Amino acid sequence: MLLLAAYYSLALTIAGLPSALAIGLLTGLLIFVPYLGFATGFALALLVAALQFQGLTPIVGVLIVFGIGQVLEGFVLTPFLVGNRIGLHPLAVIFALMAFGQLFGFFGILMALPTSAALLVGLREVRHLYLASALYLGHHEPPQP
C-alpha cells in the first residue's frame, strides 16, 4: 500500500496533476480493497485532469500513470510481496488470482490467495506423509496367497 501510494503520488506529480499527493495517498491506502482504491483514485485523477482545461495531455498522463500502476501492482508487487508472505511462488500467485477470478468472479479474487495457501499446506502434508510411508520406503509385506 505504501509503495503504491508513493508511486501514484510521485507519478501524478510528474504528470503535472494538482492534488497529486492527496490523490496518490488515497489511491495507495485504499488499494487493499480490490478495485475500490484503483477506481476511486482513477476517477478522482481523471476528474482533476479534465477540470484543468489544458487539453488531453493531463488526461493521457493520468491514463499512463494508472496503467503502469496496475501493471506494477498486478505483476510485480502482489506476486512478490504477497507470495513471499504466504509461501507461494510469484507465478502461482498470478495464476491463482487469474484462475479463481475467472471461475468465481470478484469473490474468487478475494478467496484466491487464502485458498491457494491452504491447498499448498495440505499438499505439503500429503507429500510428507507419503515420503514417510511404508509404501515409499519399500517396507511392504508381500501379498499372502
The yes-or-no verdict on residue 132 having pLDDT over 70 is yes
**Could you tell me the pLDDT band of residue 126, with boundaries at 50, 70 and 90?**
very high
Region 58-70 average pLDDT: 89
Termini Cα distance of the chain? 66
Average pLDDT for the chain: 84
pLDDT score recorded for residue 133: 85
pLDDT greater at residue 47 or residue 92: 47
Question: What gap in Å lies between CA 100 and CA 110, rounded to an integer?
Answer: 9
- Give the type of residue at 140: H
pLDDT for residue 83: 66
Q: DSSP H helical segments within the chain, as ranges?
A: 2-14, 20-30, 36-51, 57-72, 83-86, 90-131, 134-137
